[in-house]
Structure 1
Amino acid sequence: MSLKNLPITPLLSVQLDEQQEALFANNELLANLLGETIFNYAGLHIYQTTENLTAASKNYYKTLKHVARENLSLFCSDLTDSEILRVIRSFSIAAALANIAEDVYQTHQQRRVRISNKLQIGTLEKSLQNLKTKGISQEKILEAMEKVSVVPVLTAHPTQVQRKTILDITKKITDVLDQYENVKLKQIDEKEWIDKLNREIQIWWQTSMLRESKLRVTDEISNALSYYNITFFSEIPNLINKFQEISQKMGNSVQNSQSLIPLTMGMWIGGDRDGNPFVTVDTLEKSAQAQAITLFQHYFSEVEKIYRDLSMSITMTNVTEDLQALADASGEVSPHRTKEPYRRAVTTIRDRLVATAYNLCDKNINLLPPKRKNGVDVPYRNSKEFTKDLVIVAESLIRNNSEFLTHGTLNNLICATEIFGFHLATIDLRQDSSVHEVCVAELLKSANILGDYLSLPEEARCKVLLRELECDPRILSDPTIPQSELLSSELAIFKKAKSLHERFGKKIIEKNLISHATSVSDMLEVAILLKEANLAKGNKENEFCDLYIVPLFETVEDLEAAPDILRKWFSLPIVQKWMEKNGRKQEVMLGYSDSNKDGGYLSSSWSLYKAQKELTAVGHEFDVQISFFHGRGGTVGRGGGPSYEAILAQPEGSTDGTIRLTEQGEVIGAKYGNPDLGFKNLEALVSAALESSALTVEDAAWEEYENIIEEISKLSYHSYRDLVYNTEGFSDFFFEVTPINFISGLNIGSRPSSRKKKQTLESLRAIPWVFSWSQARIMLPGWYGVGTAFTKWINDDEKKLEVLQKMYAEWPFFKSTISNVDMVLSKSDVSIFAEYVKLAKDQKVAQEILKEIVTEWELTIDVLKKITKNDVLLADNAELASSLRNRLAYFDSMNFLQIELIKRARKFESIDEIPRELRKAIHISINGLATGLRNSG
């Protein structure tokens, strides 16, 4: 296709206000400092090249003429490998600095909103107002507050391309830039402030941006845990205290209000074995240990603060008997502390906390403070005992006219103990169903029960498994019989889970997830493996199952089959008995990635919606509370988009206040790399869960709209499948026009990019699939098939268009779906993608496929305009539009540089033959684009 005929992304133009002028000024300052650094360390030529590329890109947006971009290709082709490496570093850092400036800008905006008391979407106050406006009674709101349970689960999928060292540098720059308001007020010397920024940028330039070796699981654990000290330890207690205070103000009792814990944390890293051979029993132990160490170090720090604060003398105040008993238990202390009962009581608490840490973290005692000589060497049996001692301190202060002294550190620590216990976050176990069945088959064969389990049909499999669970109390494994490495490693995981339960309590590991669950036998196979570690039993004397067995339904076909699978599961007597002991609860995980890769965005979104609605009905049928775990990624193509809107877009009654969702890749840094923004994002999750819990099925009925989207979804499914799976040469097209083969070699995660050694579309993981399309700036998984589906359904009927416009105005699911497509298209650029298409070997086929993609892109833009009644993308999201416009020049330059790099790399027969500097430059280009796009995976 001719470049001149390609459409231009119709992005909203934004007028700068006073606050955005400050953002622009900070962007300009950081860009200038980076420019000076480039000049000093890379020389005049590299500096001028980056300036020329930026100018050419900006000229395109001023003129909106494709000819302006022709210079970009020319500039890139003239550079040597060494030069291009330095230029791509420049733009990668520039994109990250733009992120920092925006994060600080949003932080200041958030503070202004708090001071003004203006109600903002995503806050608890606004959600309460929304519910009251809809006529929801105070009594019903309080009932809903008791149900709210949100669990963000940190995962390590291979989209987080930043090194931990670089993350630390960006944190320092963020902290310095955050002081800008004080610079304006002349409270900080401006030159010193700029010098600090300059120092960090210079360090950044001289720091390697890439890992020299493959990221290890232990690195991923460390990266994830770093966000606790940045955000979670401070902001989760603040949020929960706010939630409890609102409950109390609404008339709930103090005791009931303080029992509300609407948010806890989850973790996949160390327990998620699906497709990752590097997650073993050792990494599970290391994950639990690392969590505990991180937590105890926080507890020690907070206890020390309380010790320093509570210097009151018994000669000046009274204390309760319980507090005095705690003080007396401290034994020998400094003579200076004999009349300071609070400090003596805190000494007892600290001694017991140290003893507990030594007991639980026996492999890492070198990271713990030393035990006090003659101290109280009695570990807490559980975190509740620790909480109880802290409450004794608080109650003594309250009863003696010092309640104000409980505010802040003490109350937050008490709250933290109830959230984090001694385990910090619940670690999920996950493995593919195919691994479970192979392991069970080996166990049955080695025990001389059944020689060929894998050949049995579903019904026969269930019969065999139920017999072993219900009738035979013995385990199947025998230490005298050799086991395969796979079976041995899987059994070791479950035995370790049992050990961790005994040490940290059952909250350390609560769930076992089954990837690609397609049957009841998939779930029973997990029960057999749990039985081997004494985590489950089915015999009549003592039925129990200590882990929730959670099926993960991923493809469109699996989602459609899910209700029947759960119906059969709930009908089993053994499952009924387990649920009686586990509160009649069942979690179901929904896979966004694979369903999207399988059927396209619209079909995936609708299949997920339907599955939730139908599964919720199945739960009501069997008196089981079904909750959903949303496997969301960063992109729209993987369930991304604003979390607040996404939760409210779920079928009414399906969340019931309980929701788990994955937070992964660069999204973790974007959401939680700053405490103010972290609080905002966490509050949005809790607020949305509260609203969705209070709005029952009776409050809204969308049957007419659901029937319409059912029709449109089928049209979208076929359109997407026709392109991706039924177009001859499409697989080769994908592998040739995107940087997928280089993504596979980048050290951005411990997990391989493909489930099988040979890369095909079928074996390719959904994460690199989406990641690759994002890099090439077409974002295909997030919108393809939408334009054709809606256009065919409307069929030039104005009345049908009016119906869709009404759906957009009234139905949260439809509004969220369309808004997400709008958002992802705003980051796409057809003419840049056309440059990637030139990389394909068979240009005749490639140009035909490009023509199909461009036609669908234009159709989708056109139908979005009609439904939303907006002439541009992001018409309702000026903040994101402004953000994109601030960084588009960096994106475009990096894309053209990446294309040139891929051209050069293709001259070599294998990745290993590519010169080091060239390979490094490609990886930095991937790094830079992911950083700039922020929700690329």
Structure 2
Amino acid sequence: MAATGSTPDTPNPAAIEQAIATPMVERISVDDTGRVLTEPLRDDIRYLGGLLGDVIRAHAGEETFRLVEDSRQDAFGIRYADRTRDDLAARYVGRGVSDLMPVIRAFTNFALLANLAEDLHRERRRRIHLRAGDPAQPSSLAGAFAKLADAGLSDAEVAAALVDAEVVPVITAHPTETRRRSVFDAQNRITELMRIRSRTELTPAEEAALSADIGRQILLLWQTALIRLRRLTISDEIVTGLRYYGASFFDVVPALNNDVRAALAEAYPDADFGGMSMISMGSWIGGDRDGNPFVTAEVVTEASSSAARAVMRYHLDQLTTLHQELSLSARLFRPVTEALTELGAHHVPAGEPVDGDDEPFRSAVTAVRSRVLARALVTLGEDVIDPAERDIAASSVPYDDADEFLADLDVIDEALRAGSDASIADDRLAALREAVRTFGFHLSGLDMRQNSETHEEVVAELLAWAGVCDDYAALDEPARVELLSRELTSRRPLTSPDADLSDLAIKELGVVHAAAGAVDRFGPRAVPNYIISMCTSVSDMLEALLFLKEAGLYVPGATPSCSVRVVPLFETIEDLRDGAATLTATLGLDFYRDLVRAQGNTQEVMLGYSDSNKDGGYLAANWALYRAELDLVKAAREADVRLQLFHGRGGTVGRGGGPSYDAILAQPPGAVQGALRLTEQGEIIAAKYAEPVSARRNLESLLAATIESTLLDTEGLGDDPAEAYADFDELAELARRAYSALVHETPGFVEYFTASTPLSEIGALNIGSRPTSRKQTTAITDLRAIPWVLSWTQCRVMLPGWYGVGSAVQEWIGADERRLAKLQDYYENWPFFRSVMSNMAQVLAKSDMGLAHRYAQLVDDEDLRERVFTMIVAEHERTIAMYTKIAGTSDLLADNAALKRSVYNRFPYLEPLNLMQVELLKRFRSGEDSPLIRRAIQLTMNGLATALRNSG
């Protein structure tokens, strides 16, 4: 057993001073090979930076340009020890906020351009590898299929494992993603122009013209406000989430689904993959009301209708283009199938001109489009239809569902193939058919989510109003389950239109009724899940089902039915530990087991990465999640239920972030089973999905990892992993103790955290639609995970991504070199542990105790400041030392060359943003309050979030 009473060594004051004085970027070295490989990247950054500098000089003036340039030179001087942070910080002291604003905007815009250059460089490197015929890279579909081929799996094995395969990225709102559509569009235009510059042999005149075009776009970017002045509304977040469909998803998702199906069919010809569409899309924006009072019935309707409107417009636009393209003449095309002729002759409104017998494909497309118009009119109203087409819509027969629409497109496809025109069928028509399979008439599934405490309160009120139970809250768990089971096997509702209910109950019931309306209008895929936050018991799950019953979505009976799955979300470490028992007990109820059987015999469970981390720290949370998955897999197997896991990951490592491919491969055996849902949030969405090339790469990595994890042994611990599991039980407990000693047990910690980070400003500065806390308290437990992580990220401590690991490892190893050897072996062979350590190292590389020390000076209580900050720095150094022992290198980014180059090349540019933020926070907290200083602080937050790329 590990030692339990020792206290980790604290570095001496000199070591702490050294840690504060040394920027983390000084600990990262890029060798000559790395410099050669990144020369095109640095060329792009210099080029874009030069154009931005020209814009700043011309439009902000020489003085501002000099301040920006001097700040840049000082920032790089800090790296080379030619300058100090005091030198750079002194440039901002005493300057007016109006003077600092353009400097903040300059470095924020530079971060946007640097992101763009890095994405283009990764694209460039991939193209080099592909042209060279190099082996398929990990995380690519080609790489995944190569591994499957090596494994020698049979067609039947692959088909059985992937029969219900599904990968669902779920788009969620996030307070650090505040960029406006104009900024988003300008970035995309610059990206396309830079691609032309990179790939095209230009004449001097062409190059000058292209530079002028890029400079013009940078000027537009410079003169466009980066953030809104007013607080974001959920409507804003809905619009932001939907923009990614036009930017990439409409093009990429159907094509990728087609490619996966074709690749599987080619590799395993005896298996049937005909109906497979692995990727579909989900959303929480407008349905997640956990801690967000602004999600109402009207918002649910707006979110589902906006999504349906977007996909209807896409389908109609594609049909218009398809009509233009399919000009095939019956005089030249043979044979024209009877089904095509019949399709073209039917469902065309009386008096509406058609293309006649000579252009049968156009006639068929006209007929199909008229029915889609009719469907849009029935479900969305006239606003979505051009006034000139409203008569056509009103006189046509609407499709009942997307399957009918797809069946008619299949008729057109079969007719083209009958005439040996498969190449035409494989183009736009194939993409549209796949889009209909993927997006239907709903676009994406809108999940409902609410906290179990709210459910309990409202259910108690409903039961009391109906005369069923006067004091539901007083019942113990068995009595609650018995009562709820009785109600859920009865068809009797608990409410009526004239019920005298509280505002909370009316609002909550209104939301589920709106969800039922969305299902009725757009189909069952429009609202697939009802998620229970902080789910701790069987009654928590049944209370949510009772809500669905009141809305008519759950129908009791001998064979109960419900198109919406009830999904428990296990969040804290304790709840993760007990999750399998909760699931087993719920499945033990006959009526609930019958319901799951009717829902395809699949039970979805969501795992919370954020609150578990906030509860117990990085290592304890990661191990609790791994253990929970093992237990849930076992429970589902014993209940003969297919388990589908939903990973509530954030952008930062502290919230489950990190490379998705590695994270999926690090799941325990049986945890994937062909199905994966995961949240995608904030600036991570922009980084991954803002344009088609990056969207394709990132979605492909999700597919590759899902396929590999489903069909291959990726754990790497052999047949008896019990010893490894026991070791990590001990390590996780030690890490949790070290973390709790700081976060939960140190007197004054909350005061230190609030003062040394921009936490209070996050709540005050109109960032996001959601309040920063679930309740109006200062308790860490009530604080939402995003502001918790975002605050530590802004001040460059990054505490949720590493704290407690160093102490745990040091104490567990003690003087036993054999234990160190075991951890080194786990690091080498166990993807879970390697992923945990690699992600932690990335966070440590982005942290900076020198900058953190400047934020610590915002804490007025000197004793508290020194006590807590010393604990943080000591653990930071200890964790780096332990990582070095396990990984065998002091290079924190040895296994991530791309991130190493990014950190080395551009992290000096973060220095001015951090130092200006500290200066502005000092002024703001000393009483200098104005709209300008608030906006300046918000801009520094946005700039740092943009530059760090995974900040909340």
Q: TM-score, normalised by structure 2?
A: 0.95
For residues 3 and 694 of structure 1, the distance between their equivalents in structure 2, rounded to whole angstroms, comes to 51
Counterpart of 1:454 in structure 2 is: 473
1:543-588 superposed Cα distances (whole Å, 9 cap, x missing partner): 2233211111110011111111111101111111112211221111
Q: 1:878 to 1:188 in 2, by over 3 A?
A: farther
Unaligned runs of 5+ in 2: 1-12
1:40-97 superposed Cα distances (whole Å, 9 cap, x missing partner): 222222111111111111012223x7x6222112112142221112211111111111
Counterpart of 2:533 in structure 1 is: 515
SS in 1 for 2:843: helix
Q: 1:781 to 1:502 in 2, by over 3 A?
A: same
Q: Is the 8 A contact 2:244 2:690 kept in 1?
A: yes
For residues 290 and 571 of structure 2, the distance between their equivalents in structure 1, rounded to whole angstroms, comes to 13
For residues 114 and 599 of structure 1, the distance between their equivalents in structure 2, rounded to whole angstroms, comes to 44
C-alpha deviation, 1:334, in angstroms: 5.2
Q: Which amino acid aligns with 1:279?
A: V
Q: Is the 8 A contact 1:14 1:878 kept in 2?
A: no
2:872 to 853, 856, 870: 853
Is 615-624 or 791-800 further displaced after alignment?
A: 791-800
Q: 1:332 to 1:181 in 2, by over 3 A?
A: farther
For residues 877 and 157 of structure 2, the distance between their equivalents in structure 1, rounded to whole angstroms, comes to 46
C-alpha deviation, 1:898, in angstroms: 0.6
1:76-225 alignment runs, 5 A limit:
76-118=92-134, 119-134=136-151, 136-137=153-154, 139-186=156-203, 189-225=206-242
Counterpart of 1:889 in structure 2 is: 908
1:117-151 superposed Cα distances (whole Å, 9 cap, x missing partner): 53011111211222344554554334333342110
Counterpart of 1:528 in structure 2 is: 546
For residues 400 and 275 of structure 1, the distance between their equivalents in structure 2, rounded to whole angstroms, comes to 58
Q: 1:915 to 1:499 in 2, by over 3 A?
A: closer
C-alpha deviation, 1:675, in angstroms: 0.6
Q: Which amino acid aligns with 2:99?
A: E
For residues 843 and 337 of structure 1, the distance between their equivalents in structure 2, rounded to whole angstroms, comes to 86
Q: Is the 8 A contact 1:122 1:644 kept in 2?
A: yes
Q: Is the 8 A contact 1:270 1:279 kept in 2?
A: yes
For residues 231 and 92 of structure 1, the distance between their equivalents in structure 2, rounded to whole angstroms, comes to 24
Counterpart of 2:835 in structure 1 is: 816
For residues 678 and 929 of structure 2, the distance between their equivalents in structure 1, rounded to whole angstroms, comes to 40
Q: 1:478 to 1:337 in 2, by over 3 A?
A: closer
1:351-408 superposed Cα distances (whole Å, 9 cap, x missing partner): 1111111111116335687246599611111111111111111111111111111122
Counterpart of 2:768 in structure 1 is: 749
Matched, 1:925 2:940: yes
2:280 to 257, 261, 264: 264
For residues 707 and 147 of structure 1, the distance between their equivalents in structure 2, rounded to whole angstroms, comes to 34
For residues 412 and 115 of structure 1, the distance between their equivalents in structure 2, rounded to whole angstroms, comes to 26
For residues 390 and 17 of structure 1, the distance between their equivalents in structure 2, rounded to whole angstroms, comes to 52
Counterpart of 2:338 in structure 1 is: 321
Counterpart of 1:231 in structure 2 is: 248
SS in 1 for 2:162: helix
SS in 2 for 1:840: coil
Q: 1:244 to 1:443 in 2, by over 3 A?
A: same
Q: Which amino acid aligns with 1:832?
A: L
Counterpart of 2:463 in structure 1 is: 444
1:89-120 superposed Cα distances (whole Å, 9 cap, x missing partner): 11111111111111222233334444445301
Counterpart of 1:476 in structure 2 is: 494
For residues 208 and 143 of structure 2, the distance between their equivalents in structure 1, rounded to whole angstroms, comes to 41
For residues 536 and 555 of structure 2, the distance between their equivalents in structure 1, rounded to whole angstroms, comes to 23
Q: Is the 8 A contact 1:357 1:368 kept in 2?
A: no
1:384-783 alignment runs, 5 A limit:
384-470=403-489, 472-540=490-558, 542-695=559-712, 700-701=718-719, 702-783=721-802
SS in 2 for 1:735: helix
1:827-866 superposed Cα distances (whole Å, 9 cap, x missing partner): 1111111111111101222112111111111111111111
1:308-387 alignment runs, 5 A limit:
308-318=324-334, 319-329=336-346, 330=348, 337-362=356-381, 364-365=383-384, 370-371=389-390, 377-387=396-406
For residues 463 and 778 of structure 1, the distance between their equivalents in structure 2, rounded to whole angstroms, comes to 49
Is 525-534 or 764-773 further displaced after alignment?
A: 525-534
Unaligned runs of 5+ in 1: none
C-alpha deviation, 1:636, in angstroms: 0.3
SS in 1 for 2:92: helix
Q: Is the 8 A contact 2:614 2:800 kept in 1?
A: yes
Q: Which amino acid aligns with 1:616?
A: V
C-alpha deviation, 1:183, in angstroms: 4.5
C-alpha deviation, 1:527, in angstroms: 1.6
Counterpart of 1:62 in structure 2 is: 80
Q: State the identity as a percent.
A: 38
1:794-805 alignment runs, 5 A limit:
794-805=813-824
Q: Is the 8 A contact 1:653 1:696 kept in 2?
A: no
Q: Which amino acid aligns with 1:292?
A: A
For residues 451 and 393 of structure 2, the distance between their equivalents in structure 1, rounded to whole angstroms, comes to 51
Q: Which amino acid aligns with 1:708?
A: D
C-alpha deviation, 1:187, in angstroms: 10
Counterpart of 1:36 in structure 2 is: 54
Q: 1:260 to 1:49 in 2, by over 3 A?
A: same
Q: Is the 8 A contact 1:744 1:753 kept in 2?
A: yes
The size of the alignment, in residue pairs, is 928
For residues 516 and 569 of structure 1, the distance between their equivalents in structure 2, rounded to whole angstroms, comes to 16
SS in 2 for 1:370: helix
Q: 1:811 to 1:84 in 2, by over 3 A?
A: same
SS in 1 for 2:568: strand
Q: Which amino acid aligns with 2:630?
A: K
Q: 1:736 to 1:432 in 2, by over 3 A?
A: same
Alignment RMSD: 2.0
C-alpha deviation, 1:538, in angstroms: 3.1
Q: Is the 8 A contact 1:122 1:688 kept in 2?
A: yes
Q: 1:369 to 1:933 in 2, by over 3 A?
A: farther
For residues 708 and 138 of structure 1, the distance between their equivalents in structure 2, rounded to whole angstroms, comes to 39
C-alpha deviation, 1:589, in angstroms: 0.6
Q: Is the 8 A contact 2:354 2:366 kept in 1?
A: no
Q: TM-score, normalised by structure 1?
A: 0.96
C-alpha deviation, 1:703, in angstroms: 2.3
Counterpart of 1:936 in structure 2 is: 951
1:287-329 superposed Cα distances (whole Å, 9 cap, x missing partner): 1111111101111121122111111111111211101112222
C-alpha deviation, 1:825, in angstroms: 0.8
SS in 2 for 1:723: helix
Q: 1:580 to 1:373 in 2, by over 3 A?
A: closer
Is 682-691 or 87-96 further displaced after alignment?
A: 87-96
Is 760-769 or 531-540 further displaced after alignment?
A: 531-540
Q: Is the 8 A contact 1:712 1:793 kept in 2?
A: yes
Counterpart of 1:914 in structure 2 is: 929
Q: 1:814 to 1:445 in 2, by over 3 A?
A: same
C-alpha deviation, 1:704, in angstroms: 2.0
Is 416-425 or 13-22 further displaced after alignment?
A: 13-22
For residues 374 and 666 of structure 1, the distance between their equivalents in structure 2, rounded to whole angstroms, comes to 39
C-alpha deviation, 1:761, in angstroms: 1.9
For residues 521 and 324 of structure 1, the distance between their equivalents in structure 2, rounded to whole angstroms, comes to 57
1:583-633 superposed Cα distances (whole Å, 9 cap, x missing partner): 221111101110000000100000000001001100011101111110000
For residues 300 and 832 of structure 1, the distance between their equivalents in structure 2, rounded to whole angstroms, comes to 53
